[in-house]
């Protein structure tokens, strides 16, 4: 058994869709979620009850199940009472008829003597839930948290759900790649389990994740061959002023199957059109200001992209992408070379015809690049954009564009 698709963590049901179970389930379906993870316990105590001691998680689980969405429970544990924590986990998971159970173990489990607590807890937990999927949710880089008893937890887990929270940064692809690499190191964590990462859909200390972050995170998870990924949290991503985070996750279509790459596509050279001399009478052109020299670009691929864009060479542009690449803008998401070709056809033929692109800034290295561009044409208003590229085997696997021309929908 495994998990597939997109999921969202819920901290407090009351914070989400007014606590309405049917509204929560309907929103999950509309966003294409395959599973929702609800907090069901905290240490040795059940969680998810209102002031009248009514279970407000149970109706949400039922509503999700009625719509074909898996309901998982998550549980913050500290290891001070492993027997009590395992008991409430088993009781709540059985009573709610959950599809899976997620352990949230963090700083308290880094203190001395907690390995024995983890083993006792996991032994009781697995004995009580022998057929349920169990996942561990903890730090993204085990190399930074060696005190946590990774092996004691992962030995009896089916999945690994690291919290890949890129706080104070906007590089989810790099952080996810490193997290996956570290969890594949059995010398570091004891047991390798399929990684189902959880990304940041929240803000902290003045920092807020972006819609672009969400697209890049999910694209990277797909590129790495992961079967599923999650976001934390529903509470934050649907709150006032933050719904762009929910919308970005909802737009990502996990169900689009990646196509195998048959063979590399050669990159055609730009076609240079001959210059036709004007026929007499000759009208002398007015002096035109020469554009500033293009700064040297640090990436060969960016150089190829710029040359292809300025020559409107669709073949050369599409050849820079993997056949199953994804392209994301603020309004939609597309996959595959034919769709990307159609997008460039619209961009260069209708939105920004003619003119000249320049790259005014480029940052990144290896397989991740962010760049800003400017488009200018005599008689037209200059346009600017900011793009992010994720590469695989030297070609673009995902491309996020932050550009919108007034009155158009690229």
pLDDT, tens digit (0-9, with 9 covering 90-100), for 160-203: 999 999 999 999 999 999 999 999 999 999 999 999 999 999 99
For 354, left (φ over 0), alpha (ψ -120 to 50), or beta? left
Report the CATH fold assignment for 5-251: TIM Barrel (3.20.20)
38 is written with which tokens? Answer: 């609800």
User: Structural domain boundaries of the chain?
Assistant: 5-251, 300-402
Q: Return the closest-CA partner of residue 129 out of 104, 149, 150, 158.
A: 158
Determine how β-strand 33-42 pairs with β-strand 163-164: unpaired
Query: Would you say how long the chain is, in residues?
Result: 410
- Assign 74 to helix, strand or coil: strand
Q: Return the closest-CA partner of residue 399 out of 307, 306, 312, 328.
A: 328
Report whether 399 contacts 321 (CB < 8 A). Answer: yes
d(CA 176, CA 221): 8
d(CA 375, CA 359): 9
**304-337: per-residue pLDDT in tens?**
888 789 888 898 899 999 998 888 887 777 888 8
**45-75: per-residue pLDDT in tens?**
999 999 999 999 999 999 999 999 999 999 9
Q: What is the CATH number of domain 300-402?
A: 3.10.450.50
400 is written with which tokens? Answer: 């996020």
């Amino acid at each position: 058994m495994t998990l597939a698709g997109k999921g969202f963590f819920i901290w407090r049901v009351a914070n989400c869709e007014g606590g309405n179970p049917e509204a929560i389930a309907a929103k999950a379906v509309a966003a294409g979620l395959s599973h929702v993870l609800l907090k069901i316990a905290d240490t040795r105590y059940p969680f998810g009850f209102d002031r009248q001691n009514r279970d407000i998680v149970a109706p949400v689980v039922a509503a999700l199940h009625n719509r074909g969405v898996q309901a998982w429970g998550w549980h913050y544990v500290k290891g001070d009472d492993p027997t009590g924590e395992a008991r409430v986990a088993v009781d709540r998971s059985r009573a709610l008829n959950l599809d899976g159970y997620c352990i949230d173990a963090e700083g308290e489990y880094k203190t001395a003597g907690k390995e024995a607590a983890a083993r006792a807890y996991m032994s009781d937990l697995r004995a009580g839930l022998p057929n349920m999927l169990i996942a561990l949710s903890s730090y993204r880089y085990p190399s930074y948290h060696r005190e946590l008893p990774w092996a004691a937890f992962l030995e009896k887990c089916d999945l690994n759900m690291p919290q890949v929270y890129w706080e104070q940064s906007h590089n989810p692809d790099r952080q996810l790649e490193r997290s996956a690499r570290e969890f594949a190191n059995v010398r570091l964590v004891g047991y390798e389990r399929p990684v189902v990462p959880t990304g940041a859909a929240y803000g902290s200390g003045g920092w807020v994740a972006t819609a672009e972050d969400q697209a890049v995170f999910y694209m990277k998870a797909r590129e790495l061959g992961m079967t599923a990924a999650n976001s934390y949290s529903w509470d934050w991503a649907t709150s006032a002023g933050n719904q762009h985070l929910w919308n970005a996750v909802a737009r990502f279509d996990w169900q689009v199957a990646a196509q195998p790459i048959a063979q590399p596509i050669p990159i055609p050279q730009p076609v240079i059109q001959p210059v036709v001399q004007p026929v007499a009478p000759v009208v002398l052109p007015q002096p035109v200001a020469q554009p500033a020299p293009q700064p040297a670009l640090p990436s060969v691929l960016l150089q190829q992209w710029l040359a292809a864009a300025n020559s409107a060479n669709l073949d050369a542009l599409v050849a820079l992408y993997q056949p199953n690449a994804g392209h994301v803008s603020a309004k939609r998401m597309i996959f595959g070379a034919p769709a990307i070709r159609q997008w460039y056809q619209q961009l260069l033929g209708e939105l920004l015809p003619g003119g000249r692109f320049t790259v005014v800034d480029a940052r990144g290295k290896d397989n991740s690049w962010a760049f800003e561009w400017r488009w200018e044409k005599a008689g037209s208003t200059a346009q600017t954009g900011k793009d992010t590229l994720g590469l695989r085997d030297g070609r673009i696997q995902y491309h996020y564009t932050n550009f919108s021309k007034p009155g158009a929908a690229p």
